Amino acid sequence: MLSFNVLVLACLCYASFLFVVAFWAEQRAKRGRLGWLKSPWIYTLSLSIYCTAWTFYGAVGYAARSGLEFATIYMGPTMVMIGWWWILRKLVHIGRSQRITSIADLISSRYGKSTVLGVLVTVLAVIGTTPYIALQLQSVALSFAVFSQAGNEGVTGAATLPDLNVTALWVAAGLSLFAILFGTRNLDANERHHGVVTAIALEAIVKFIGLLAVGVFVVWGIGGGMADMLARIDASPVSQVDLDGTRFITLTLLSGAAFLTLPRMFQVLVVENADEDHLFTAGWAFPLYMFGMSLFVIPIAVVGLNVLPEGSNPDMFVLTLPLNYDQHALATLSFLGGFSSATSMVIVAAIALSTMVSNHIVVPLWLSSRKDSATYSGDIRAVVLLARRVSIAVVLALGYFYFRLSGGSEALAAIGLISFTGLAQVLPAMLGGIFWRGATRTGAIMGLCLGFTVWAYTMFLPSFGAAAGFSTQVLDNGPWGITQLRPQALFGITGVDPVVHAVVWSLALNSAVFILGSLMSFPRPVERLQGAQFVNVFDHSGPARGWSLGRVEAEDLLVMAQRIIGSAEAQSLFQNEAKAQGKKGYLPDPTPAFMDGLERKLAGSVGAATAHAMLGQITDGAAVSVEDLMAVANETAQMLEHSNQLEAQSNELARTARKLREANEKLTEISIQKDAFLSQISHELRTPMTSIRAFSEILRDAGTSGTKLDEASLARFSGVIHDEAQRLTRLLDALLDLSVLESGQVFLTWERHDLHDVIEHAIEATGQGLDGADLQIKRDLSSEHIILDTDADRLAQVFINLISNARKYCQAETPVLHIKTRRQGLNIQIDFIDNGQGIPEQKQSVIFEKFSRLGDEAKAGGAGLGLAICSEIAHNLGGSISYLPAQGGAGFRIDLPQTRQLP
């Protein structure tokens, strides 16, 4: 007999194998070698989380009780997938273009980025999914129990069942670890979780093979092939069950609806979708998968009822049949299949729910708790990630407690259908949202609330029985004896199957109120814009521009964006936009198009409603009025009458104009500077000249008149002359150096160096970091060890310049200079950031020009050539240096290629 310990061992091995696979896929994706990771087959297989333990074990039990009716659970999704051109294509396209992070985000975003709707759908999803997670834990625990029972009977005869609760607890803990490790790696929920998806695809194969193997064993191993099996089916009680027509149709439609609205299905269908073309393959391949999963369900049920002793649990036939024939390998395979179905569902459901909870409940709460300073303080990334991790653990804990409280009810199917019906309440708002521009927020809120209430009253709460106050007495006579309100016979409609009753009433009332509410209310402007964008998603990018050209500081936007999506990504986003606008540096003009794109990018991390609210805080006074917005919409509608070319031309024109304006500003500034420099340089040259002349005259006069100067004066006068001459030489050297660098005729000695040594050298040369230093330097030593091809002396010259600049100009009480290095693809970035006042925006574009200085005073005697030389050196080394705004001080970034780029 298969010992329980061996089974646990197999299970642990399998689980650790999954960890390894997920980790490997994650690493592979990180290195950019996606390859087959983004193939349509992986996408198709990941959809298989629809087939949970409920379908793996439960389908057979279902078939044993109600015959062919079990097929409805697969047939609905089959029709949705085969008919993907109707709904899924649009849903996936919207999901990708709007960077939707969850089903709650879809609904909230469509109805004017409404926080209320986001919360509603999230709550509904948590309530609807928790029992389902409990169900998965229960099925894993039960399948363990089946094995240990079989094992113990064989060996000792004494049935010492392992504690189901302990098993479930271990499973829940392991799953939350997996989900936290691989599901919360990146903040952008819209990015794919390669590790999770690959592990799930693997699990899909395991469960498919598991069930198919049992099926083949049953048909050709126990039975005598297909013909014999058909005869057995005809003789079996399974085929004597009458099909209930209304139930049959209702369940088919319900499962189709749930396929679209279950949070975990939405996650894999829409959020994790890497390419819309994958639907071409999944459209037929996933129905084929479900076909395979259900083909042998009836034979297994028939043979199970036939062969196994009376009273054995049909939900466990998939396991008990092979065990009955001593097929241990097969039983283990089937056990792993069931384990896979349970775990993959729980993992994805937990990730989907945690995204919703963090984006729609935790972050809005956190933001409103610090209203005044929300955009400027605190790290939002850390909060969101922590919220996700905690919610995953909480969701699994909820599932576990539900499992403990419900005590493991016998028929798995009931809970599944309750969950399906609960989440199907989102369907009217979802379909209305993507096909009907007239659908409004008011309608959606009313529909969802009513549908949710009716579902809870007719289906969810009665499932708890007397514990929730739904005793048989209430069910039979209605609350307080009002027969019209009997939970399973609302308004006197009796004799209907309770499931059909609940589904029809909840969805009918939900849709009716949704439509009526939408017809009678008037949408807010943002709703109208979003509605048009969702419904007309295929007709080019719509006219939705929610932001007017107010006085928005690009620097404020960058500060906020850095807090949400991280500094590296935010900076490259802003830089690219600036480049597209024809500007240099990191600060693009906050055009409406840019604001729109930025909002969408942020929405990918924290959800549409939150992103909108946060941008709203920054634009503040510049928020658009209704009239403005409608005017914008009208204008854009008229604009569309013109050809695309015209639009492109005007864009081009705007870009050129912006470039010209910038160039003009720069020219003016440079010309002013040049004038200033000329007087400056004359002054600089004249001052030493004057002293040299004066002192040399004294010396000469002393020589001619014969008066003896004492030793001390002689030394002092000649010392002054020498110093001043040196100062002149330094100035001329700098000018010469610059002209050599500019002409590109500089001789560089390219060698491999450790960046750390270069920085070390520069710091030593400036005398900083030693005792009595007036500037504190903070570095991350471990990240500095990067080997690169460069001219070490020249590079050190740049560093020295930046460090001494920080020392000269940083006016903080305790000046601190941060030096950060990081590898970015083939480039190396070295940031020098101090904690002073920074450089005002209008100066930022000229600091790298020759002769530019901050302020008028010739502080520390520079001629304004240092940064110009730095820039030229960086250029000659194949890189660049730029000013890094919004760092809370002056920040300079040096970009260098790691290896020499030959021209």
- In the complex, what is the shortest distance from the CB of residue 545 to other proteins, in angstroms, rounded to a whole number? 17
For the beta carbon of residue 562, count every other beta carbon within 10 angstroms.
Answer: 21
Which one among 228, 234, 723, 764 touches other proteins, defined by CB under 8 A?
Answer: 234
Give the integer Cα–Cα distance in Å for 260 and 94: 14
Q: Which of residues 428-487 bind other proteins (CB under 8 A)?
A: none
Q: How far is CA 653 from CA 575, 584, 609, 656, 764, in A?
A: 21, 18, 34, 5, 51
Q: Could you please report the per-residue DSSP string of 610-655?
A: HHHHHHHHHHGGGPPPHHHHHHHHHHHHHHTTS-HHHHHHHHHHHH
For the beta carbon of residue 470, count every other beta carbon within 10 angstroms.
Answer: 19
Give the integer Cα–Cα distance in Å for 23 and 122: 29
51 binds other proteins (CB under 8 A): no
Which one among 17, 36, 41, 85 touches other proteins, defined by CB under 8 A?
Answer: 85
Torsion of CA 407, 408, 409, 414, to 10 degrees: 120
Which one among 9, 159, 295, 646 touches other proteins, defined by CB under 8 A?
Answer: 295
Name the one range near other proteins by CB under 8 A: 240-248, 398-406, 585-593, 894-902.
240-248
Which one among 20, 159, 243, 626 touches other proteins, defined by CB under 8 A?
Answer: 243
Residue whose structure tokens are 């600049």: 805
- In the complex, what is the shortest distance from the CB of residue 84 to other proteins, in angstroms, rounded to a whole number? 8
71 binds other proteins (CB under 8 A): yes
CB nearer other proteins, residue 290 or residue 614: 290
- In the complex, what is the shortest distance from the CB of residue 62 to other proteins, in angstroms, rounded to a whole number? 14
80 binds other proteins (CB under 8 A): yes
Give the integer Cα–Cα distance in Å for 602 and 531: 20
Name the one range near other proteins by CB under 8 A: 232-240, 490-498, 596-604, 855-863.
232-240
Taking a C-beta distance cutoff of 8 angstroms, is the pair 810, 889 a contact? Answer: yes
- In the complex, what is the shortest distance from the CB of residue 859 to other proteins, in angstroms, rounded to a whole number? 50
CB nearer other proteins, residue 256 or residue 399: 256
287 binds other proteins (CB under 8 A): yes
83 binds other proteins (CB under 8 A): yes
Residue 828 pairs in a beta bridge with 823, 896
283 binds other proteins (CB under 8 A): yes
Q: What is the DSSP letter of 524?
A: -
CB nearer other proteins, residue 640 or residue 709: 640
Q: How far is CA 295 from CA 6, 212, 674, in A?
A: 31, 8, 84
Name the one range near other proteins by CB under 8 A: 242-250, 427-435, 558-566, 778-786.
242-250
Give the integer Cα–Cα distance in Å for 118 and 124: 10
CB nearer other proteins, residue 15 or residue 68: 68
647 binds other proteins (CB under 8 A): no
Give the integer Cα–Cα distance in Å for 364 and 387: 12
Which one among 397, 640, 698, 714 touches other proteins, defined by CB under 8 A?
Answer: 640
Which one among 12, 288, 493, 736 touches other proteins, defined by CB under 8 A?
Answer: 288
Name the one range near other proteins by CB under 8 A: 288-296, 710-718, 835-843, 872-880.
288-296
Which one among 36, 41, 220, 280 touches other proteins, defined by CB under 8 A?
Answer: 280
User: x-or-dash pattern for other proteins, window 17-36, by CB under 8 A?
Assistant: --------------------
82 binds other proteins (CB under 8 A): yes
Residue whose structure tokens are 């419904």: 535
CB nearer other proteins, residue 84 or residue 182: 84
Give the integer Cα–Cα distance in Å for 39 and 29: 13
With contacts defined by CB under 8 A, how many residues of the chain interact with other proteins?
39
Tokens read off for 824: 């970015």
CB nearer other proteins, residue 298 or residue 361: 298
Q: How far is CA 614 from CA 191, 454, 560, 621, 895, in A?
A: 21, 35, 8, 13, 31
Crossing angle between the packed helical segments 498-520 and 412-424, to the nearest 10 degrees: 10
- On the 0-12 / 13-18 / 19+ scale of CB atoms within 10 A, 63 is buried
Name the one range near other proteins by CB under 8 A: 78-86, 675-683, 808-816, 841-849.
78-86
Give the integer Cα–Cα distance in Å for 715 and 707: 16
Residues counted in the chain: 903
- On the 0-12 / 13-18 / 19+ scale of CB atoms within 10 A, 482 is exposed
- In the complex, what is the shortest distance from the CB of residue 85 to other proteins, in angstroms, rounded to a whole number? 5
Give the integer Cα–Cα distance in Å for 297 and 301: 6
Name the one range near other proteins by CB under 8 A: 15-23, 64-72, 373-381, 691-699.
64-72
Give the integer Cα–Cα distance in Å for 141 and 53: 11
Name the one range near other proteins by CB under 8 A: 175-183, 279-287, 781-789, 892-900.
279-287
- In the complex, what is the shortest distance from the CB of residue 251 to other proteins, in angstroms, rounded to a whole number? 12
Which one among 281, 406, 463, 776 touches other proteins, defined by CB under 8 A?
Answer: 281
Which one among 39, 239, 453, 687 touches other proteins, defined by CB under 8 A?
Answer: 239
Instruction: Give the three-class secondary structure for 547.
Output: coil
703 binds other proteins (CB under 8 A): no
- On the 0-12 / 13-18 / 19+ scale of CB atoms within 10 A, 397 is middle
For the beta carbon of residue 879, count every other beta carbon within 10 angstroms.
Answer: 21
Q: Could you please report the per-residue DSSP string of 503-521?
A: HHHHHHHHHHHHHHHHHHS
384 binds other proteins (CB under 8 A): no
Give the integer Cα–Cα distance in Å for 815 and 747: 36
495 binds other proteins (CB under 8 A): no
Which one among 173, 181, 230, 394 touches other proteins, defined by CB under 8 A?
Answer: 230
Q: Which residues of 132-157 are buried (b: 16+ CB within 10 A; e: fewer)?
A: bbbbbbbbbbbbbbbbbbbbbeeeee
67 binds other proteins (CB under 8 A): yes
- In the complex, what is the shortest distance from the CB of residue 79 to other proteins, in angstroms, rounded to a whole number? 4
- In the complex, what is the shortest distance from the CB of residue 234 to other proteins, in angstroms, rounded to a whole number? 5
Q: Which of residues 88-147 bind other proteins (CB under 8 A)?
A: none
Name the one range near other proteins by CB under 8 A: 75-83, 206-214, 508-516, 655-663.
75-83
- In the complex, what is the shortest distance from the CB of residue 523 to other proteins, in angstroms, rounded to a whole number? 21
- In the complex, what is the shortest distance from the CB of residue 78 to other proteins, in angstroms, rounded to a whole number? 7
- In the complex, what is the shortest distance from the CB of residue 240 to other proteins, in angstroms, rounded to a whole number? 5
User: x-or-dash pattern for other proteins, window 297-316, by CB under 8 A?
Assistant: -x------------------
CB nearer other proteins, residue 371 or residue 540: 540
Tokens read off for 486: 């009997």
Which one among 15, 21, 34, 68 touches other proteins, defined by CB under 8 A?
Answer: 68
- In the complex, what is the shortest distance from the CB of residue 83 to other proteins, in angstroms, rounded to a whole number? 3
Q: Which of residues 245-274 bind other proteins (CB under 8 A)?
A: 245, 248-249, 252
719 binds other proteins (CB under 8 A): no
Q: How far apart are the first and last CA of the chain?
A: 72
Which one among 17, 36, 41, 291 touches other proteins, defined by CB under 8 A?
Answer: 291
Q: Going edge to edge, which strands form the sheet with 816-824?
A: 776-779, 816-824, 827-834, 891-897, 880-883
List residues binding other proteins (CB under 8 A).
67-68, 71, 75, 78-80, 82-86, 230, 233-234, 238-245, 248-249, 252, 280-281, 283-285, 287-288, 291, 295, 298, 539-540, 640
